Amino acid sequence: MVSENIRRSRRRVVVTGFGAVTPVGLTFDATWEAFLAGRSGVAEISTFDTSDLPTSIAGQVKDFDPTVHMPRTIARRMDSYAQYAMAAAVQAQQMAKLEIDEDDADRVGVLIGSGYGAVNSIDGFSVTIRQKGPRAISPYAPITGAIDSAAGEISMALGAQGPSRAISSACATGTDALGEAARWIQFGVADAVVVGGADNCVTRVDLAGSGNARALSRRVDAPQEASRPFDEDRDGFVMSAGAGVLVLEEAERAQERGATILAEVLGYGCSSDAYHWTAPQPEGRGAKRAMRAALTDAGIEPDQVDHVNAHGTSTKLNDASEVASLREVLGERVTQIPVCSIKSMTGHMIGAAGAVEAITAVQTIRTGIVPPTINCHRPLADDINFVPHEPQQHDVRVVMSNSFGFGGHNAVVVLGAWDG
């Protein structure tokens, strides 16, 4: 945790742009529209055989054309997860009106996380070398198959010459990326960062593994009802694909160039359970440490939190643990504010989840609209407003966004309205 004297002297960080590619939309505007309509992106998998897999449903990105956002020659050497990241980054840059020139290129960083990385390309390379031999493997294979390929491609495309790297912490990746990028700016390493997360792990291997771990929903007869966070009848999460990217800037820099400031990154906290690969620590110790650290980092008291964009995966253990942890950290406040999970509509985008959820939190602050948790028919806690089925209007100035990942990774960001 950052010490109090350092916290008070560091630079302020603001959001000036964002973009997304999700199972419910190819931009964040389209995604937000789907959220307000309570529309699920979960469906039967159509791109490969699922007859022998534990489940046959996922949240896939549909009708995506990478050449809308990048030249065909570049798209051809990129894994789909990196294509999604590039598309979201281009959207974010355009929204922020971020122009990078020779004078400030070395002050603009890129940090793009992924939980699984280029798994589709790696699988394809393995098939190719077995069937056709080494000479059939592209010289770009080591680049395409690397987890930093999205960050590298984006930095080259935008001309960002500051720090550029990947980060990976399973389902907490997108939130960790946002928090770490904010620290780059707070402590003067960079003045702006293009940051987010991306994944496309809807593969036979990943569905088989997660399914065999009994983590995935098997509600294949009703795909759009499968992801049901905080519902008593939940039976697992839905594997999904997507990307979310934000432009973060040092506040004075953003003001000087006349950027529209959308929200402020107030605080970030992270921790590790050091307990189990797939199950949360039973008492939620790590999750609670991360939430408390984020609030302390933000200088925010629990009774100042207006909304929680929850991790809410739709698994038995995670949802119950998150609710118990929220009760302990926020006290009575958790029964007075809306707590939602957009995974009810997107499914779990793994490394992209936290980034898209942070963008959603920013949009909630801007509009006062909290998106719903669909499929929440029998809430596991009657005294908590999980925003069931329909969006709600609330006065939201501070949002806590949670991400808790396999391996015990916990990451939390606190976002707030910009007060100037």
Angle ∠(403,407,413) on CA atoms, nearest 5: 20
Tell me the C-alpha to C-alpha distance, in Å, between residue 32 and each of 240, 273, 274, 346, 375: 17, 33, 36, 11, 18
Question: Which SS3 state, helix, strand or coil, does residue 107 take?
Answer: helix
Question: Which SS3 state, helix, strand or coil, does residue 147 take?
Answer: coil
Q: What share of the chain is helix, strand, coil (3-state, %, to 5)?
A: 40, 20, 40
Residue the block writes with tokens 């038995």: 316
Helix segments in 199-284, DSSP class H? 204-212, 251-256
Catalytic residue among 171, 270, 340, 376: 171
In angstroms, rounded to a whole number, what is the distance separating the alpha carbons of residues 70 and 86? Answer: 8
Instruction: Determine whether 376 is an active site residue.
Output: no
- 274: its two tokens: 């050091």
Other Cβ atoms within 10 Å of 192 Cβ, number: 29
Q: If we measure between CA atoms, which residue out of 305, 418, 293 comes closest to residue 370?
A: 305
Report the interhelical angle of 119-132 vs 204-212 (nearest 10°): 120
Question: How many residues are present in the chain?
Answer: 420
Residue the block writes with tokens 């809430």: 379
| Residues with active-site annotation | 171
